[in-house]
Structure 1
Amino acid sequence: MTVDDFHQPTDEEIIEEARRLDKELPPTRSNVRKEISFAKELLVVKGTEYADLAADLVQRGGEEYKPPADGDWRTEAWGAERADLNKRYEDACLRVRLWTFPEAGVEEINKIELDFRDRGVHQNRILVGAKGTSPHPAGAPAAAATTGSIVLSAPTPGPPGLAVLDTGLPDGWADMHPGLAGAITQDPGDLPEQVIATDLALGHGLFICGLVRRSEPSVRMQVRRVLRFRIVDDAFLCAELGERTEPVVNLSIVTECQGGATAPVGIRTAVSALARKGTVVVAAAGNNGSDGQPVFGFFPAEFKNVIAVGAFDPHMSPPTQSGFSNHGRWVDVWAPGTRLKSTYVKSTDLPTFAGGWAIWSGTSFAAPLVSAKIAKLVQDKAPDDTRLPIQVAEDFLSDVDRSDFSGNGRQLFPSHLVELTKDS
């Protein structure tokens, strides 16, 4: 199967789909490079001359974002506490602020950003879940034969070792897959989403959790819902990352920055802060690849302090680079990502998936195999091992053989991962 057999929805198509599902989604804008952001918002780096910059932004009609008392789309989606982004930045010591420009049109917002970019003003970019692919139209998961409940040993006691920031978990997930329950801590602020047939992406996070559970059964996960209808903005994800305490974070989320565009400044700030603490951030490389030249401009995977994971097809002999996977020298690790089998939603709304299992492909699902392995190594450190998690990851990756894939990243395919590809 070639890349031409996969339908890759564009970011614009994903935004339009989200609008159909949620009328509260605010207006978006797109610049000449077709990069999408929220229309009336800008993220501002809080430097030493922030007071002067703030005064200039006020003159241009701006104000620091404050969630209105009667709620807006963020309070409706996450609750007032999680929507108060600037307070969360302060509490996490992140030097960014979100600004709104209520009366500004698209052209004015573009001009404000251009006028002040060299002073740390950037668009509030929209990111999408790393668009999963399958041998079926629209990148949808395919139903798999019922495997039954996962029967595995209990996770190691202790705090979660891996944060999964994704779509969260659907309503009734523990009943769907009892074998997952002991391994997952769900944030109490994450209200469960009802399973609806029009939103197959809802099972994205559940699928990832199943892969972690099957590949490294002793790893405990902290699950956070950051994607709503497959999208999240730079401002919100920055706050979520800034509050992480787990040693390893998995991000199967991506945004494309082409033509010299700046990378998402909020995520860059938060990831840098995590790296200084020794936290490992693993990110999907994205599924915009082709059989042609390497691609560039995909974040957060391309940040230097993030482990970028590409996908390969373990069903081929020898294993081959997945045609959909982004590639280039910035891809650090390759892991199985084609036709993996894992936990998925089941509901009367989704009769095709009555068994609650699916087959899915994408770098979204290669990434958690890497993050789970690193979390396991960090968890199993000897008591006198003083290495930070990021040092554990570096030592591990230095021992992994290099691949002959595009960019020559390292190839992770421990024998126990073969089980994830059976009967698929």
Structure 2
Amino acid sequence: MTSDSIRRLNAADREFDAQLDQLLAWESVADSQVEATVAEILQQVRSRGDAAVIEYTNRFDRRQLASAREFCLAPAELSAALQRIPAAERRALEAAAERVREYHRYQLQESWRYREADGTVLGQQITPMERVGIYVPGGKASYPSSVLMNAIPAKVAGVDCVAMVVPAPDGQLSDLVLAAAAIAGVDQLYTIGGAQAVAALAYGTQSVKKVDKIVGPGNIFVAAAKRAVFGRVAIDMIAGPSEILVICDGQTDPDWIAMDLLSQAEHDQQAQSILLSPDAAFLQAVGESLERLLAELPRREIAAASLAGRGALIQVESIEAAIALANRIAPEHLEVSVADPEQYLPQIRHAGAIFLGRHTAEALGDYCAGPNHVLPTSGTARFSSPLGVYDFQKRSSIIYCSPEGADKLGRVARTLARGEGLEAHARSAEYRVED
């Protein structure tokens, strides 16, 4: 990659809007062939249960499972993994888990109620979900942070049982992932993945009990399966490629900003890294830093493809103009690397997570800052929020009428019901009216 490989744009150019639309365009998980494959897997698991899960797991993950017992891990195996990992890794996991747990405790919603003058009581009761399934990518890849970010909010919410699925291709499992499951309080762990794991969680099998919600990242087959079972169970979101948008006034070290951009680019070739700055010389300096630092990365080919395909260095008129453009893009991660960044916070309307100041690297949010790293992507931050405790709590309305309240409300309800032509509604309310 050369310093000119990443596209350079100027927001003042006449064709900028079209260029930006092209830059942001991303094909969703919708794919007819994938959807057909996933539909078949879902149907087979729904009708045949464990037998289908075993069949697909053996085929796709190159396993030799003979029974469901072999993909069900006992809690003792998670504890054993926690004992096996190096002490430094255990300390890091425990420190990250505690920060994530502490942050999410602030999100707990509480039940409330109030009493009206006639004695009628209205309110809302908050209850946790009973069973939640979390999907964690597995095999040679190790994503313990995904375990913490998905399981801990559920446990803080009070979910009765957190069931985790993680594929083990060729029988490989990461001790770090299992240790994270032990620390996060995962109750059940199944070494299955793909659409068959989503189906098992959504429909239930002889060995996997049906859950109420499925959360966590996965490949295109996992995403398509989550979309297909939505409605039978809840899901968190259909996530697109990882994104970072950095706003900088030109006074931060160019190497810092370049590495922040690379931290997302190394995820995959479809990841997106964008820098906005009013300083043309700084944009050039960051481009040169990208070229130099990229050569040092183990995943440089992936990062280079990401930057060339979906990255951009964009010159804007001012920081205020950059904020307006960021709101239009609605990025997953937004870094505001400027002097006195808090002054701009009220202007930021759409972003999954906001990282303020020159020292706040997005990577800290991925692992240990405390807020959740499961964030809306592909512009959905305009209407979606990060995964949190509230995603694992339900709200039930409370209505408790006194005789006087039933009389007052009944008079209103019967009039409205008859206006809608619903006589039984009207009479049901009217029976409590004291004429």
What TM-score results when the alignment is normalised by the length of structure 1?
0.27
Greater percentage in strand: 1
Greater percentage in helix: 2
What TM-score results when the alignment is normalised by the length of structure 2?
0.26
